[in-house]
């Protein structure tokens, strides 16, 4: 994939991204493939120009429609947990948002499917991603809690919103040996990794999380 354009703000994006990656490494993200992907994708083009100067802070930022772009550490950590040191074939992302995490995933997985329930937000994201010509990324407007059964099974599923419980549809669409990374909870959320084995599923609670809620239906 070609390097994404870094124009649009008055700072050296490559240098700023390199500093962000060093902070991620210091915070405990060690997967070199994930760090390389984070270094390659200019986060500032995924937020409104008015807040682009804050793009490389380790904080979530508003992207409209009541949604946020996750903090860089959150994205890197979830993708690292999804990859678990293995090559990723087909991946499903639930909650496209502004498209940043999907773009990071597109540099790591062979195929990425990303679903978003808010149509207006998705159209804005399509327009943003179109110039990047990401050929292994497909977007769809649908209820993310139902996954995307027509492209299943997936080697990995990553959910960018907090569920009150793990949606059964996502478990059904996980390939044997696959991983689901999802925040679970209401007031207190935890990042959970679910692995599918021949004999069933195992769940591992990793660390506290903070996400917007995973809602059903489409908007």
Show which residues are catalytic: 70
Helices (H) and strands (E) in the chain, counts: 6, 9
Do the strands 88-94 and 200-209 form a parallel or antiparallel pair, or are they unpaired? Answer: unpaired
Q: CA 80, CA 181: separation in Å to the nearest integer?
A: 10
Q: Spell out a b/e string for 141-175, using b for 16 or more CB atoms within 10 Å of the CB, else e.
A: bbbbbbbbeeebbbbbbbbbbbbeebbeebbebbe
Q: Are the CB atoms for 112 and 138 separated by under 8 Å?
A: yes
Q: How many CB atoms lie within 10 A of CB 37?
A: 22
Q: CA 176, CA 145: separation in Å to the nearest integer?
A: 20
């Amino acid at each position: 994939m070609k390097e994404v354009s870094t124009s649009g703000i008055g700072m050296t994006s490559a240098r700023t991204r390199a500093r962000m990656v060093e902070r991620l490494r210091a915070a405990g993200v060690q997967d070199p493939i994930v760090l390389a992907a984070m270094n390659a994708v200019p986060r500032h083009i995924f937020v409104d120009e008015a807040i682009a100067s804050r793009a490389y802070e380790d904080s979530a930022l508003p992207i409209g429609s009541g949604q946020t772009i996750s903090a860089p550490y959150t994205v890197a950590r979830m993708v690292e947990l999804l990859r678990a040191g293995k090559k990723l074939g087909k991946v499903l992302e639930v909650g496209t948002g502004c498209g940043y995490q999907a773009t990071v995933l597109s540099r790591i997985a062979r195929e990425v499917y990303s679903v978003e329930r808010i149509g207006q937000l998705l159209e804005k994201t399509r327009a943003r991603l179109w110039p990047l010509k990401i050929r292994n990324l497909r977007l769809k407007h649908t209820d993310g809690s139902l996954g995307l059964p027509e492209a299943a099974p997936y080697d990995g599923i990553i959910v960018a919103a907090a569920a009150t419980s793990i949606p059964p549809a996502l478990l059904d669409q996980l390939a044997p040996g696959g991983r689901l990374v999802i925040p679970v909870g209401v007031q207190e959320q935890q990042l959970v990794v679910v692995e599918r084995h021949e004999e069933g599923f195992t769940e591992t609670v990793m660390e506290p999380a903070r996400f917007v809620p995973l809602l059903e239906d489409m908007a």
